[in-house]
Amino acid sequence: MPQIRIPIEWYDLISYMASTRRKKFSDFLDYILHTDECIGLNEVSPTAFRKISLSSDVSENEISRKIKYFLFCR
């Protein structure tokens, strides 16, 4: 199971959105990886990072790019 590091702010946002949609964090992360949706938040500078484990074999760069696009439309 690969582990990646994402900014803690991104983790908090994804965790909050997953709970409001009544999904598990891992299911919501899988949704982010397969959608073209973006929510257009203002980008924030990372203060710390958090390691998360993934069940899919996607590169860390690809996951970071998908999450960044989903959150910030960039």
Single pTM value for the model: 0.84
Residue at 54: amino acid letter: L
pLDDT digits (tens, 9 = 90+) for 23-74: 998 889 889 989 999 999 998 888 999 998 877 777 888 888 999 999 999 8
CA distance 72 to 62: 15
pLDDT digits (tens, 9 = 90+) for 13-30: 999 999 999 999 888 988
What is the count of structural domains for the chain? 1
Task: Give the domain range for residue 46.
Answer: 3-72
Residues in a beta bridge with 3: 53
Residue at 14: amino acid letter: I
